[in-house]
Amino acid sequence: MQTKWKTMLTILLNPKSPEPLYQQLCQAIRAKIADGTLKPREKLPSRRVLSMYLQVSMITVQTAYEQLTTERYLYAVPSVGYYVDPDALLLVHTPAPTDSIPAPKPPASSVRSDSIAFSTSGVDLKQFPFSTWAKLSRQVLTAQQEALLHGTPPLGLSALREAIAAHLLAFRGMQVSPEQILVGAGTEYLLGILVQLLGASRRYAAEDPGYRKGKQILRCNGASVIAVAMDQDGLDQEKLQRSGASVAHVTPSHQFPTGTTMPLRRRAVLLDWVNAQPDRYLIEDDYDSELCFQGKLLPTLYSLDQGQHVIYMNTFARTLAPSLRIGYVVLPPKLAVQFAQKLSFYACSVPAFEQYTLTRFLQDGCFERHLNRMKKTYRLRQAILIKQLRSHPLSDRLQICGEAAGLQLLLKVQLPCTEQDLIDAADRANVIVTGLPSYYDVPKHLPDQMSCIILGYARLSPEQITT
Amino acid sequence: MQTKWKTMLTILLNPKSPEPLYQQLCQAIRAKIADGTLKPREKLPSRRVLSMYLQVSMITVQTAYEQLTTERYLYAVPSVGYYVDPDALLLVHTPAPTDSIPAPKPPASSVRSDSIAFSTSGVDLKQFPFSTWAKLSRQVLTAQQEALLHGTPPLGLSALREAIAAHLLAFRGMQVSPEQILVGAGTEYLLGILVQLLGASRRYAAEDPGYRKGKQILRCNGASVIAVAMDQDGLDQEKLQRSGASVAHVTPSHQFPTGTTMPLRRRAVLLDWVNAQPDRYLIEDDYDSELCFQGKLLPTLYSLDQGQHVIYMNTFARTLAPSLRIGYVVLPPKLAVQFAQKLSFYACSVPAFEQYTLTRFLQDGCFERHLNRMKKTYRLRQAILIKQLRSHPLSDRLQICGEAAGLQLLLKVQLPCTEQDLIDAADRANVIVTGLPSYYDVPKHLPDQMSCIILGYARLSPEQITT
């Protein structure tokens, strides 16, 4: 062990404290960053070395490093190690009682306003039909008046749930009763409610690589989450079987972030898994299915299932705007009964105003028109991006995946370099991209000679893409 | 044991099932109600008898009975026992896959539209300055446009948090930085977030009698909740000490439902408790403090505390309208830092539109004017109600409590009858009132010759009160 690490490692962990060891370790490392013992860009000891030195398990160190990476105190270089984030000091404050609190650090991609960010979050808000929305909003203000102030039913306004059911039938061929639909303040909120409904003592399986925030939410709600590796087409079935999970969160329409669509036979296998035990559930996150560019949408797991074991989930954040905070889940009937018995004391978390306005937006066909326009726009952007990539001097080393739907592409690069090399090279050109490894629950070493980059293009104009 | 109970008790519980015993018992009793073995208004066996018969603990039976009471399958008659609710059959459905789900039963108080309900929930929406709100909403639609679609920071719009901080300073004398304020989709949502922030493995103390939904929310979020008895002025200190809780939820300004205001010396005792251990917290729910009718408001626990151990919580549901779904918490600085580190990945749960409109409503002084108007209205209603009670033939047997603030009164009745007798008598006169026992975590027998009734008067017009 290097000498300078020894200085750093005057860390005392108390196994008898009610605070978990990894949290104690996080706290100690934050303190070392705060007092300058650990410098920006300094490499941390490997998990093995630190775990031996502190006499804790490698999992403890790994968990602490990941937690600090999530918090942006550290950053990970796949297959190399963890480093102190250059901006970590901005996070470290010990405020006096009335002092200001450090605001959560904005994601790195928004730091420089002139850079071109292939971000996977957010949508192009310029496309949002604001004048239509504002017109409907004004109508709602005039027409509903007092009705706006009365709370809606716990599941959400019935007219809204009817409109969503009609949309799901027309668009997804799903036969759903409005009583099965729960409207809530975004899928983040709804995931928490699902944990309360299904129970936090279960083990939840999640896709790896996958939607990291989903795992965070499940964990913050007290659930134990196991990241199950993806193969070409979906969750590795054997690993799912062995995981001991009784709930699995999946994105079959357009896997995040790889963009693959789960083939029918794999959907059948997943349904076999869920129906093999009476108390298993699938959470089918159908985000981005509205933005399907090629061929016909496959039926949802919800529609294919005969056993009432699939919970369908979707959001208007990607198709309309994130700031509306409206998502919904379709509960299988028996879970809808359990929700009514156990959780319907909760008031609906979406204000009546948004519910009424969205109802009109759906009823009047505005949503359908908006989707068609968006599909055209995004398909064009995707085509331009693919054309640019194909005309690149190294195009024979590039493989484009996940172009059938959604708002990001996966780019496989066959060059003797790591994702971090590519990210750094892009950064020097003022372009921000993300590497696939950062979507793994535990940073993963990909096969040699193959690096994967995620390109989210929803918020970039054609001009930005071609530059 | 009566013979007819034996028929009912052909219940098989499986101690090895992952489903808790009390849930199995709930399920079995629901089935007995569904198939008619248990008839409406039929009395259930006592906890002791049933626990002996089924060879489970009394706690298991008690928990099942309480759960079913919450779900309105049963109702409790204090010191007598549990009965099948007359409307329980409405709840019992076993829907086919695409059948309709039973909607959650509306609270009993809304069943008959001609009855006079002294409800403690809800406010008089006729008083809401809708035209002002609609005007500001239209201005926001015109002025903000694209800003409305961008998500707000995780804590909420800064202008809104600044306006709330200014309100707290002017109205409550609280020195609060906007960075300490977290805006969320109602206090129900925020209580769940507080459990995620403080940890679900703690024990939470709650007032008994008290805000039952609060206890439900804490429990649904995985926390263990202990109901601590109230004395005249607040939580019984000795019982709080012995409870093993490290967090206590309190309503010092206007205790729900008894209406008492916690005196200063008792606030000091509570602060001594919280500061005696480094990791204790008070959640100060300051609901209804805006509607103080007598004298000066006492300083909040938050202001009195020197140790950063008080979380202040309030809502616009009671002062504006429940359907807006906006509440907020003020986190002590060290918890605000923890929130930023641990939970700021959550998007703010309130739509941008409501945040912008409420900001203007606060900035333009509309909220202050509205509060003054509401205070006048409610004070008048309270005065009429008190006058009516004082002129009652039995007025020398009536004691009115909790009139200093808020939207309900506690009426102590010194007559040789139970709360249920009073509730039944009121029901025959088409008046709906609630007995104090139903606000206890475990139904409680009050001293003989003394029954307590809660009269919520916010939604009744003077004419309704005098009839």
Tens of pLDDT along A325-349?
999 999 999 999 999 999 999 999 9
Chain B contact present for A445, CB below 8 A: no
Q: How far is B3 from chain A (nearest CA, A)?
A: 30
Alpha carbons A409 and A256: distance in angstroms, whole number: 10
Going by C-alpha positions, the residue among A87, A60, A48, A95 that lies closest to residue A71 is A87
Confidence bin at A268 (pLDDT 50/70/90): very high
Best mutation target, B353, B361, B370, B374, to test chain A (most A CBs within 10 A): B353
How far off is chain B from A388, nearest CA to CA, in Å? 29
pLDDT at residue number B200: 95
Which pLDDT band, with edges at 50, 70 and 90, does B355 fall under? very high
Taking all residues of chain A, what is their mean pLDDT, rounded to a whole number?
84
Query: Are A333 and B97 inside 8 Å of each other by CB?
Result: yes
Per-residue 3-state assignment (H helix, E strand, C coil) for B157-186 = CHHHHHHHHHHHHHHHCCCCCHHHEEEECH
State the average pLDDT over residues A111-140.
77
Contact check, Cβ <8 Å, B336/A101 = yes
A106 interfaces chain B, CB cutoff of 8 Å: no
Query: Pick the residue with more confidence: B2 or B10?
Result: B10
What is the average per-residue pLDDT within A122-144? Answer: 85
Structure-derived torsion over alpha carbons of residues A119, A121, A124, A130, reported in degrees to the nearest 10? -160
Q: How far is CA A170 from the centre of its chain?
A: 27
> Over 80: is that where the pLDDT of B467 sits?
no
Q: Which chain A residues are closer than 8 Å to B101 by Cβ?
A: 177, 179-180, 333, 336-337, 340
Q: Is the peptide bond before B209 cis (omega within 30 degrees of 0)?
A: yes
Interchain CB distance below 8 Å, B101 and A130: no
The reported pTM is 0.74
Whether pLDDT at B96 is above 70: no
Under the banding of pLDDT at 50, 70 and 90, the label for residue B413 is: confident
Q: What is the mean pLDDT of residues B9-34?
A: 80
- Is the pLDDT at B461 greater than 60? The verdict is yes
Provide, as residue numbers in chain A, all residues whose Cβ is less than 8 Å from the Cβ of B70. Answer: 345
Give the model confidence (pLDDT) of B307-338 as tens digits.
899 999 999 988 888 888 999 999 999 999 99
What is the DSSP code string of A298-332? Answer: PPPHHHH-SSS-EEEEEESTTTT-GGG--EEEE--
Is residue A188 scored above 60 in pLDDT? yes
A185 inside 8 A of chain B by CB: yes
Please report the pLDDT score of residue A94 as a whole number: 35
When scoring A323, A335, A342, A344 by the number of chain B Cβ atoms within 10 A, the one with the most, hence best to mutate, is A323
Print burial letters for B197-207: b (CB count within 10 Å at least 16), e (below 16): bbbbebebbbb
Higher pLDDT, A280 or A120: A280
- Identify whether the C-beta of residue B121 lies closer than 8 Å to the C-beta of residue A145: no
CA–CA separation, A459 and A118 (whole Å):
8
Higher-pLDDT residue of A196, A38:
A196
Contact B125 A145 (CB under 8 A): no
- A141·B138 Cβ contact <8 A: yes
Q: Please count the other Cβ atoms lying within 10 Å of the Cβ belonging to residue A404.
A: 15
> What 8-state DSSP symbol labels residue B323?
G
Which has the minimum average pLDDT: A147-156, A165-174, A266-275?
A147-156
Which 198-227 residues of chain B touch chain A by CB within 8 A? 200-201, 213, 216-217, 220-222
Across the interface, whether the CB atoms of A93 and B352 are under 8 A apart is answered no
Q: Is the pLDDT assigned to residue B383 strictly greater than 50?
A: yes
Asked whether the beta carbons of A302 and A161 are under 8 A apart, the reply is no
> In this model, does residue B174 exceed pLDDT 90?
yes
Helix H or strand E segment including B14: none
pLDDT above 70 covers a percentage of chain B that reads 88
Which of A42, A41, A43, A107 minimizes the C-alpha distance to A71? A107
Could you tell me if B439 and B454 are in contact, meaning their C-beta atoms sit under 8 angstroms apart? yes
Query: Inter-chain contact A98–B175, Cβ cutoff 8 Å?
Result: yes
Rounded to 5°, angle at Cα B458 from B454 and B462: 105
The answer to which of A194-198, B81-85, B191-195 has the lowest mean pLDDT is B81-85
A457 pLDDT exceeds 90? no
Closest chain A residue to B141 measured between Cα atoms? A134
Chain B contact set for A332 (CB, 8 A)? 97
Q: How confident is the model at residue B287 (pLDDT cuts 50, 70, 90)?
A: confident
Residue of A nearest to B341 (CA): A71
pLDDT digits (tens, 9 = 90+) for B417-452: 777 888 888 878 878 778 888 888 876 666 655 688
Q: CA-to-CA distance for A331 and A35, rounded, in angstroms?
A: 50
Selected residue with higher pLDDT from B131 and A464: B131
Flag whether pLDDT at A1 surpasses 70.
no
Whether the predicted pLDDT of B140 surpasses 50: yes
pLDDT (tens digit per residue) in A44-99 = 888 888 887 787 877 788 888 888 887 778 888 777 888 888 777 766 653 333 33
Q: What is the pLDDT of residues A72-87, one digit of tens each?
A: 788 887 778 888 887 7
Q: Which residue has the higher pLDDT, B444 or B403?
A: B403
**Joined tokens for residue A10:** 């005057």
Contact of A278 with chain B, judged by CB distance below 8 Å, is answered with no
Report yes or no: B343 at the A interface, CB cutoff 8 Å. Answer: yes
Rounded to whole angstroms, what are the CA distances from B46 to A187, B49, B83?
43, 5, 10
Residues of B in contact with A100 (CB under 8 A): 177, 179
pLDDT digits (tens, 9 = 90+) for A350-403: 999 999 999 999 999 999 999 988 888 888 888 888 888 888 888 888 888 887
Read off the pLDDT of residues B202-256 as tens digits, 9 standing for 90 and up.
999 999 999 999 999 999 999 999 999 999 899 999 999 999 999 999 999 988 8
pLDDT at B100 over 50: no
| B278-284: average pLDDT | 96
Say whether B345 and A101 touch across the interface (CB within 8 A).
no
- Inter-chain CB proximity B97 and A141 less than 8 Å: no
pLDDT at A39 over 60: yes
CB distance from A342 to chain B under 8 Å?
A: yes
Model confidence at B162: pLDDT above 50: yes
Out of A249-253, A355-359, B79-83, which region has the weakest mean confidence (pLDDT)?
A: B79-83
Q: CA-CA distance, A81 to A43, in Å (whole number)?
A: 7
A351 in reach of chain B (CB within 8 A): yes
A396 reaches B (C-beta below 8 A)? no
- Distance, in Å, from the CA atom of A187 to the CA atom of A203, rounded to the nearest integer, reads 20
Task: Tell me which chain A residues have a C-beta less than 8 angstroms from the C-beta of B323.
Answer: 148-152, 351-353
On the question of pLDDT at B409 being above 50, the answer is yes
- Per residue in A199-221, pLDDT (tens digit) is 999 999 999 999 999 999 999 99
Residue B387 has pLDDT above 60, yes or no: yes
| CA separation for the pair A282, A56 (Å, rounded) | 35
Percent of chain B with pLDDT over 90: 40
- Measure the CA–CA gap between B43 and B41, rounded to whole angstroms: 6
Query: Which among A18, A134, A222 is the nearest to B222, CB-wise?
Result: A222
- pLDDT of A7: 53
Q: Which of residues 281-310 of B touch A (CB under 8 A)?
A: 308
Q: Please, which residues have CB within 8 angstroms of residue A397's CB and are 6 or more apart in sequence?
A: A413, A414, A415
Q: CB of A14 within 8 Å of any CB in chain B?
A: no
Residue A190: in which H helix or E strand, if any? helix A186-198
Query: What pLDDT, on the 0 to 100 scale, is given for residue A295?
Result: 66
Residues in CB range of B314: below 8 A, 6 or more apart:
B187, B285, B286, B287, B289, B327, B328
pLDDT by residue (tens digit) across A402-411? 877 777 888 8
* Sign of the torsion formed by the C-alpha atoms of B76, B77, B82 and B87: negative
> Rounded CA gap, B377 and B392, in Å?
23
Token code pair at residue B9:
């008790």
B147 contacts B351 by C-beta, under 8 angstroms: no
Question: Are A341 and B71 an interchain contact pair (Cβ–Cβ within 8 Å)?
Answer: yes
Q: Check B185 against A325: CB less than 8 A apart.
A: yes
Rounded to an integer, the average pLDDT of A17-40 is 82
Closest-approach residue (CA) in chain A for B88: A341
